[in-house]
Amino acid sequence: DQQVKQNSPSLSVQEGRISILNCDYTNSMFDYFLWYKKYPAEGPTFLISISSIKDKNEDGRFTVFLNKSAKHLSLHIVPSQPGDSAVYFCTPSTGGGNKLTFGTGTQLKVEL
Amino acid sequence: NAGVTQTPKFQVLKTGQSMTLQCAQDMNHEYMSWYRQDPGMGLRLIHYSVGAGITDQGEVPNGYNVSRSTTEDFPLRLLSAAPSQTSVYFCASTYKDGPNEQFFGPGTRLTVL
């Protein structure tokens, strides 16, 4: 039973355009939602997060939107850059970021 | 600050062998955890610890043991390796009281033949 679904295994966008990565979850107990970015042969690195009491959080080129009623999360990257090419994991948690539940990831490729 | 370090980076074992994956952090984080990542999947929580002397099971604990004798170290033991334990293992740490993001080590790639 997958609690976190990232239905797009891959996404390709042109440099300078917007990248939108989507995530759906089923567990209503999740209280903190994080996005991690992962390059090959490295550990995941934290990108941006949002608390369940908010519906939007912005950090530079990255914005996360949360729709609790739909149990849907999205990450917007604008403008996209080649260095953004990586696997992105939607990672809800309980306990404020401790017990993470990872989605299967979306491989983003930003092309010149 | 070295952050979260893991050793070894690569390891090949034969079925039935035992080994310990090492994890250390120098950020004085109370919370440490182990995850495994299999092809096409996200990371799954194996074990975690909220402080020295305290450990608990995650989603996939079978076949693994942990202990936490110091704040800095959180080793993961495979008592009798099986091919199903072939995976990439990541250690992570953070402060106990959230909300916080976890910091991940570079991973250990383990192959069990």
Model confidence pLDDT, tens digit, residues A68-85: 999 999 999 999 999 999
Tell me the nearest-neighbour CA distance from B17 into chain A, angstroms.
Answer: 25
For position A96, what pLDDT does the model report? 67
> B39 and chain A: CB distance < 8 Å anywhere?
no
- Angle formed at CA A43 by CA A1 and CA B13, multiple of 5 degrees: 80
pLDDT at A1 over 80: no
Q: Chain A within 8 Å of B48 (Cβ-Cβ)? A: yes
CB–CB contact B45 A44 (8 Å): no
Residue carrying structure tokens 């949002």: A50
Is A43 close to B105, i.e. CB distance below 8 A? yes
Please say if the pLDDT value at position A107 is more than 80: yes
What is the end-to-end Cα distance of chain A in Å, rounded?
Answer: 38
Which contacts (CB < 8 Å, 24+ apart) does range A64-69 have?
A64/A33, A64/A35, A66/A33
Tens of pLDDT along B18-52?
999 999 999 999 999 999 999 888 999 999 999 99
Question: pLDDT value at position A98?
Answer: 77
pLDDT in tens, A79-103: 999 999 999 999 999 876 678 899 9
Residue A43 carries which side chain, given as an amino acid letter?
A: G
Q: Which residues of B touch A43 (CB under 8 A)?
A: 4, 90, 92, 104-107
pLDDT score of A91:
94
Residue B87 has pLDDT above 90, yes or no: yes
Which range scores top for mean pLDDT: A91-105, B2-16, B85-99?
A: B2-16
Residue of chain B nearest A93, judged by CA positions: B99
Cβ atoms of B12 and B113 within 8 Å: the answer is yes
Interface contact B99-A103, CB threshold 8 A: no
Neighbour tally for A55: CB within 10 Å = 12
**Can you tell me the distance from the alpha carbon of B91 to that of A33, in angstroms, rounded to the nearest whole number?**
20
